[in-house]
Amino acid sequence: MNLLLRIATILSFLGHYPSYILGYLIETIIVIIFATVVIAGMVYIFRKYMARVQMRIGPNRVGKFGIMQVMADGLKLIQKESIMPKGRDDLAYKLAPILIFFGLIMGFIFIPYGPLAWFGDLTVSHSDVSLIIIFALIAIMPIGEILSGISSNNKYAVIGTLRGIAKDISFEVPMMLSILAIVMAASAKVSNPLDINGVVVAQSIPFAILEPLGFFVFIISMAARASYSPFDMGESDSELVTGNTTEYSGLRFGFFYLGLFGTIFLGSMMISTIYLGGYLGPFTNYMGFIWLLIKTLILVIISLTIWLSMPRVRIDKFINFGWKYLLPIAFVNLVIVGFLVLGGIA
Amino acid sequence: MIEIKEVEEPRRVPILGSVEGMFTVFKHLFGKPVTVQYPEKPSVLPDRFRFRIYLSTDDCVGCTLCEQVCPNLTITMVPLEKENQRNKRKIYPSVNFGTCTVCRNCEEICPTDAIYLKEVFETARTRNNFFYSPEDLEKHEAEVKR
d(CA B6, nearest CA chain A) in Å: 29
Output the pLDDT for position A271.
92
Task: Identify all chain A residues contacting B33, using CB atoms and an 8 Å cutoff.
Answer: 51-52, 55-57
Q: Do B28 and A306 touch (CB under 8 A)?
A: no
Task: Identify all chain A residues contacting B32, using CB atoms and an 8 Å cutoff.
Answer: 55
- Which of A100-109, A294-303, B9-18, B78-87 has the weakest average pLDDT? B9-18
A231-287 confidence digits (pLDDT tens)? 888 888 788 888 888 888 888 888 888 888 989 999 999 999 999 888 887 887 788
Q: Is residue A71 domain-resident?
A: no
Instruction: Tell me what the pLDDT averaged over chain A comes to.
Output: 87
Which of B18, B29, B35 has its CB closest to that of A57?
Answer: B35
Q: How far apart are CA A132 and CA A123, in angstroms?
A: 16
Would the pTM of this model clear 0.90, i.e. be above it? no
Q: Specify the CATH architecture of the domain B52-143.
A: 2-Layer Sandwich (3.30)
Output the pLDDT for position B146.
63
Nearest CA in chain B to A230: B18
Ramachandran assignment for A236, one of left (phi > 0), alpha (psi -120 to 50 degrees), beta (any other): left
Q: What is the mean pLDDT of residues A32-42?
A: 89
Q: Is residue A319 domain-resident?
A: yes
Hey, which residues does B76 pair with through a beta bridge? Answer: B94
Answer whether residue A310 shows pLDDT above 90. Answer: no
ipTM exceeding 0.85?
Answer: no
Q: Is residue A68 domain-resident?
A: no
Q: What is the mean pLDDT of residues A305-317?
A: 88
Output the pLDDT for position B69.
92
**Chain B residues with at least one Cβ partner in A under 8 Å:** 18, 21-22, 24-26, 28-29, 31-35, 37
Which amino acid is present at A110?
F
Q: Is residue A108 domain-resident?
A: yes
- State whether residue A290 is helix, strand or coil: helix
Task: Identify all chain B residues contacting A302, using CB atoms and an 8 Å cutoff.
Answer: 22
Q: How far apart are CA A28 and CA B100, in angstroms?
A: 67
Q: Is residue A66 domain-resident?
A: no
Output the pLDDT for position A300.
92
- As for how many domains chain A has, the answer is 1
Output the pLDDT for position A106.
86
Q: Is residue A77 domain-resident?
A: no
Pairing mode, if any, of strands B75-79 and A120-121?
unpaired
Q: DSSP secondary-structure letter at A243?
A: G
A65-120 confidence digits (pLDDT tens)? 888 888 898 888 888 888 888 888 889 888 898 888 888 888 888 888 888 877 77
Output the pLDDT for position A305.
92
Q: Do A52 and B33 touch (CB under 8 A)?
A: yes
Residue A30 main-chain phi, psi, to 5 deg = -60, -40
Output the pLDDT for position A328.
93
CA-wise closest residue to A292 among A216, A196, A213 = A196
Q: How far apart are CA A175 and CA A165, in angstroms?
A: 15
Q: How far apart are CA A203 and CA A226, in angstroms?
A: 26
Answer whether residue A211 shows pLDDT above 90. Answer: no
- Which of A23-37, A90-104, A184-198, B1-15 has the weakest average pLDDT? B1-15
- State whether residue A115 is helix, strand or coil: strand
Q: How far apart are CA A277 and CA A268, in angstroms?
A: 12
Decide if A214 contacts A330 (C-beta within 8 A): yes
Q: Do B28 and A305 touch (CB under 8 A)?
A: no
Pairing mode, if any, of strands A120-121 and B115-118?
unpaired
Nearest CA in chain A to B22: A309
Higher pLDDT, B27 or B14: B27
Instruction: Tell me what the pLDDT averaged over chain B comes to.
Output: 86
Q: What is the mean pLDDT of residues A294-307?
A: 91
Q: How confident is the model at residue B15 (pLDDT cuts 50, 70, 90)?
A: confident
A264-302 core/surface letters (b: 16 or more CB in 10 A; e: else):
bbbbbbbbbbbbbbbbbbeebeebbbbbbbebbeebbeb
Output the pLDDT for position A283.
80
Higher pLDDT, A14 or B22: B22
The interaxial angle of helices A140-151 and A250-274, nearest 10 deg, is 150
Q: How far apart are CA B8 and CA B109, in angstroms?
A: 65
DSSP B104-133: -HHHHH-TT--EEEES------SSS--EE-
d(CA B55, nearest CA chain A) in Å: 40
Task: Identify all chain A residues contacting B29, using CB atoms and an 8 Å cutoff.
Answer: 49, 52-53
Whether residue A53 lies within 8 A of chain B, CB to CB, comes out as yes
Which amino acid is present at A265?
F
Output the pLDDT for position A298.
92
Q: How confident is the model at residue A340 (pLDDT cuts 50, 70, 90)?
A: confident
CA-wise closest residue to A182 among A338, A24, A344 = A338
Give domain limits for chain B.
52-143
Ramachandran assignment for A117, one of left (phi > 0), alpha (psi -120 to 50 degrees), beta (any other): left
- Residue A103 sits in which domain range? 85-342
Q: How far is CA A312 from CA A98, A107, A273, A317, in A?
A: 27, 27, 28, 10
CA-wise closest residue to A145 among A91, A82, A96, A87 = A96
Mutate to test the interface with A, among B22, B30, B34, B40 (most CBs of A within 10 A): B22
Output the pLDDT for position B5.
82
Q: How far is CA A313 from CA A317, A322, A345, B79, in A?
A: 7, 12, 38, 72
Nearest CA in chain B to A55: B33
- CA-based max dimension of chain A: 63
Sheet containing B91-96: give its strands across.
B75-79, B91-96, B131-132
Residues in chain A: 346
Share of chain A above pLDDT 70, in %: 99
Q: What is the mean pLDDT of residues B24-43?
A: 86
Hey, which residues does B131 pair with through a beta bridge? Answer: B96
Q: DSSP secondary-structure letter at A230?
A: G
d(CA A63, nearest CA chain B) in Å: 16
Q: What is the mean pLDDT of residues B102-119?
A: 90
Output the pLDDT for position A296.
92
Q: Do A53 and B29 touch (CB under 8 A)?
A: yes
Neighbours of A10 (CB within 10 A): 13
Q: How far apart are CA B83 and CA B81, in angstroms?
A: 7
Q: How confident is the model at residue A346 (pLDDT cuts 50, 70, 90)?
A: low
Q: Do B34 and A55 touch (CB under 8 A)?
A: yes
Q: Which parts of chain A fold into alpha helices (H)? A: 3-10, 16-53, 69-79, 90-109, 130-138, 140-151, 155-187, 196-201, 207-210, 212-226, 250-274, 284-309, 315-320, 327-342
A156-208 confidence digits (pLDDT tens)? 888 989 988 888 888 889 999 999 998 988 888 888 888 888 888 888 888 88
Q: How confident is the model at residue A324 (pLDDT cuts 50, 70, 90)?
A: very high
